[in-house]
Amino acid sequence: MKHTQKTALSGVKPTGRPHLGNYFGAMKQFVEMQDEYHMHVFIAEYHALTTMHNGAELRDSIYNLVLDYLAIGLDPEKVTLYKQSDIPELTELTWIFNCLVTVPWLERAHAFKDRTAKGIEASVGLFDYPVLMASDILMPDSEIVPVGKDQIQHVEMTREIARKFNNIYGETFTEPQEHIVEDVAIVPGTDGQKMSKSYGNTIPLFGTDKEIKKAIMGIVTDSKLPAEPKNPDECNVFALHKLITPSDQRAEIRKGYEEGGLGYGDSKKMLLENYLAFIEPMREKRKYFEDNPGIVRQILDEGKSKIQKITQTKMKEVREKVGL
């Protein structure tokens, strides 16, 4: 039973394998929201194109992200799951919005500013990234957008685009609200910085046993001996126990840190064991979909036809209003 009729939408770029930061910081929320909202979840491959220029790699990443979404528990009966490129009208809407927004306004976007500050010349696509994102959000009249803190500005810009269009052409788009998961701290990577693909410090969500073991055993700690008392809240290994380890065992581990007696090596071994138990059911689900590509195709086809109905109605209205 959905408690609200509210429409929620979010997407993830297929730019490599998801890691624990992506899962706990974003993807897990989509699964939790699917019972409560009219949830739309998509693969943001048009956005990925701003940085990925290898066709085979992109195609592979898109498919793998679909498998990941299904494996973590997105239920295609409850969620409209689709690929961004299945609705090319998004680029048409982006063009229409492009003709309303100005260059100085787009120059204020953080992602663009960060790139330019690093001396990298942004492509036109990267410059236009927030406008495409506004099309994603506004096309199905999303009211709620679950995202990480880094995406708040994009949702604000989306509201401004909606307002501008509505002012000129009459009420057409709904202004969305971001939904930030406050209690999810930044998940630390194996080196203690924010876990991120760009820092090479990730634990891949669906890594092999070997990859996960290597990543967990390689987590950076201080050099305190097992017998010494330690502060669990300053330990990168314990930060992951907080996400994965059942609370009774976690309390014991905390005690072992605080009183001394538990070494980092043993703490890592327990984390590894708990991680493998935690991921096992999702791995099984992923394997099922890997072995049944026909079912995956059908899910994507259904998602496509559900979202296309919404898109076609919306674009008809937009074209009429702007005079096309």
Work out what residue 194 binds among ligand TRP, ligand ADP, none; the CB cut-off runs from 5 to 8 Å by kind. ligand ADP
Q: How far is the CB of 61 from ligand TRP (least distance, A)?
A: 14
What's the rounded Cα separation, in Å, for the pair 304 and 184?
A: 31
Neighbours of 193 (CB within 10 A): 13
Nearest Cα neighbor of 138 from 84, 102, 195, 176 is: 176
Pick one of 6, 111, 116, 148: the residue that binds ligand ADP (CB under 6 A). Answer: 148
Q: Does residue 93 interact with ligand TRP by CB under 6 A?
A: no
How many CA atoms lie less than 13 Å away from 204 in the CB half-sphere? 16
Q: Which residue is nearest to ligand ADP (CB)?
A: 25
The DSSP call for residue 123 is P
Q: Does residue 195 interact with ligand ADP by CB under 6 A?
A: yes
Q: How far is the CB of 61 from ligand ADP (least distance, A)?
A: 12
Instruction: Evaluate whether 82 touches 42 at the Cβ level (below 8 Å).
Output: yes
Here's the x/- map for ligand TRP, 18-57, by CB under 6 A: it reads as --------------------------x--x----------
3-state secondary structure of 180: strand
3-state secondary structure of 275: helix
Neighbours of 169 (CB within 10 A): 17
Q: How far is the CB of 81 from ligand TRP (least distance, A)?
A: 14
DSSP H helical ranges for 143-194: 152-169
Q: Which two tokens stand for residue 105?
A: 């306004």
Q: How far is the CB of 260 from ligand ADP (least distance, A)?
A: 30
Q: Which two tokens stand for residue 129?
A: 């990234």
Q: Does residue 194 interact with ligand ADP by CB under 6 A?
A: yes
Q: How far is the CB of 97 from ligand ADP (least distance, A)?
A: 22
Q: Does residue 130 interact with ligand ADP by CB under 6 A?
A: no
Burial 94-115 (b: 16+ CB within 10 A, else e): bebbeebbeeeebeebebbeeb
With CB under 6 A as the rule, give the number of residues binding ligand ADP: 17
Q: Does residue 147 interact with ligand TRP by CB under 6 A?
A: yes
Q: Does residue 135 interact with ligand ADP by CB under 6 A?
A: no
With CB under 6 A as the rule, give the number of residues binding ligand TRP: 12
Contacts of 37 (CB under 8 A, 6+ apart): 2, 4, 6, 7, 8, 144
Residue number, 15 or 267, with CB nearest to ligand ADP: 15
Q: Does residue 83 interact with ligand TRP by CB under 6 A?
A: no
Region from 4-12, 58-66, 193-201, 259-267 binding ligand TRP, contact rule CB under 6 A: 4-12
Q: What is each CA distance from 247 to 26, 29, 138, 197, 241, in whole angstroms?
A: 22, 20, 41, 29, 9
Q: Does residue 22 interact with ligand ADP by CB under 6 A?
A: yes
Region from 89-97, 112-120, 158-166, 195-203 binding ligand ADP, contact rule CB under 6 A: 195-203
Instruction: Evaluate whether 2 touches 38 at the Cβ level (below 8 Å).
Output: yes
Region from 5-13, 59-67, 222-230, 259-267 binding ligand TRP, contact rule CB under 6 A: 5-13
Binding site for ligand ADP (CB under 6 A): 12-13, 21-22, 25-26, 147-148, 150-151, 186-187, 194-198
Binding site for ligand TRP (CB under 6 A): 9-11, 13, 44, 47, 133, 136-137, 145, 147, 151
